[in-house]
Amino acid sequence: MNILVINAGSSSLKYQLFRMPDEKPVCTGLVERIGQADAFIRHKQWEGDAEKVTERTGGLPDHYASLHEVLAILATPGTGVISSPDDIAVVGHRVVHGGEQFADPTIITPAVKETIRTLFSLAPLHNPANYTCIEVAEKTFPHARQVAVFDTAFHQTMPPQAYRYALPESYYREKRIRVYGFHGTSHKYVTQKAMVWLQKPDAKLISIHLGNGCSMAAVDSGRSIDTSMGFGPLAGLIMGTRSGDIDPSVVFHLMESEGKTEAEISALLNKQSGLLGLTGTNDMRDIRKAVRASDAQATLACDLYAYRVRKYIGAYTAVLNGLDAIIFTAGVGENDVDIRESICQDLDYLGIRLDLEKNRTATPGLRAIQSADSRVAILVVPTNEELEIAQQCYRLPGT
């Protein structure tokens, strides 16, 4: 069964084509910096053991244009991996916010699409992009089954004391205002891998997903019991363009002192803050270059970023009443050795000790980077949201 997985982020789009049940992808691709002048696509496919790479740059103003370009590469005569759109049986879509309506992978219908639309305001950087990709895929692969896999689903196991806010009861009962959590597909995938590596199905884990969007999850025996993002994906850690945790009084102050509108404040906190607001760029690789050039603002941004993660590690260790491992994953978590080092410093009391040499030695796959005397494992686990989505689609009845 050919399953094409589309994973649209706020400024990126990843995709993989699987011939399930084979877990090795036929091809993979990444579109980065969508909407910027230096946007690019990097597509990889395999012919036997040989890897072929196709790269294209520029001309990608939005997710709609990006996905059209991706689909053109997939079907290029002579070099493409499909001969016609009918070769694709299922298109699996990562959708960020499913509210309380969706706790499982779901076949997409007009009613499901409309519900995704109603949740735009809760995930303004993602749900619109996810919706656009669904519409493009429906037109491009008219005979394929379209399936949505929701980031919020994994966190439906949280207890009420973790997902409820201290608001009047009616706001939950009638408006369903609560913590939903995100990056659930990634947190589920990497914690499952960690439990296998630890040979401990009842492991107490903290999953740290650091990309353009960032979140953490406290996971006990494979079940999410708390997470840093909340009603929408704005809360918690400092992110590429999102502020993370902020005193709501700041919002009231900006409305009163500067006359900012709801739309302006939403844009400020979701699109103009975080690393972008602190440094002028949301790309950690560019910020790292600035740190090496002794840029004080870039250094402060990295310190703030790491400090926020450390605070959550302490909180989640308390919530779990113990800790077997912390997991670094996603683009920054897997690749930025300096951020991992900054986060893990001064955590000796919790038994978390990093081996500096192991941290800086990159090897493929899951790797342990804690020192020999660390009581807690420190794991780098490459996430694979696309494979997790493909597996959920493959297991879904009706596909």
Spatial contact of 352 and 378, defined as CB atoms under 8 Å apart: yes
| Residue 211 assigned to a binding site | yes
- Give the containing element (helix H, strand E) for 94: strand 90-95
Token digits of residue 17: 């084509």
pLDDT at 399: 67
Catalytic-residue membership of 151: yes
At residue 59, the pLDDT reads 81
Q: Do domains 2-150 and 199-380 have the same CATH topology?
A: yes
Is 209 annotated in some ligand binding site? yes
CATH of 199-380, one of 3.20.20.70, 3.30.420.40, 3.90.1720.10, 3.60.15.10: 3.30.420.40
Cross-strand partners of 46: 51
Is 94 annotated as contributing to ligand binding? yes
Confirm whether pTM is higher than 0.75.
yes
pLDDT by 10s per residue, the chain, length 399? 999 999 887 788 889 999 999 999 999 999 998 888 899 999 999 877 788 898 888 889 988 888 888 888 888 876 688 888 899 999 999 998 898 889 899 999 999 999 999 988 888 878 898 998 899 899 888 899 999 999 999 999 999 999 999 999 999 999 899 999 999 999 999 999 999 999 999 999 999 999 999 999 999 999 999 999 999 889 999 999 999 999 999 999 999 999 999 999 999 999 999 999 999 999 999 999 999 999 999 999 999 999 999 999 999 999 999 999 999 999 999 999 999 999 999 999 999 999 999 999 989 999 999 999 999 999 999 999 899 999 999 999 876
Check residue 124 and give its pLDDT.
81
Q: Is 93 annotated as a binding residue?
A: no
Structure tokens at 98: 């499913």
Say whether 321 counts as a known binding-site residue: no
What angle is formed at CA 346 by the lines to CA 343 and CA 349, rounded to 5 degrees? 120
- Whether 14 has a binding-site annotation, put simply, is yes
Contact criterion met (CB below 8 Å) for 308 and 342: no
Which amino acid, 167? L
According to the CATH classification, is domain 2-150 in 3.30.420.40?
yes
Domain parsing of the chain, residue ranges: 2-150, 199-380
From the candidates 87, 151, 245, 355, give the one annotated as an active-site residue: 151
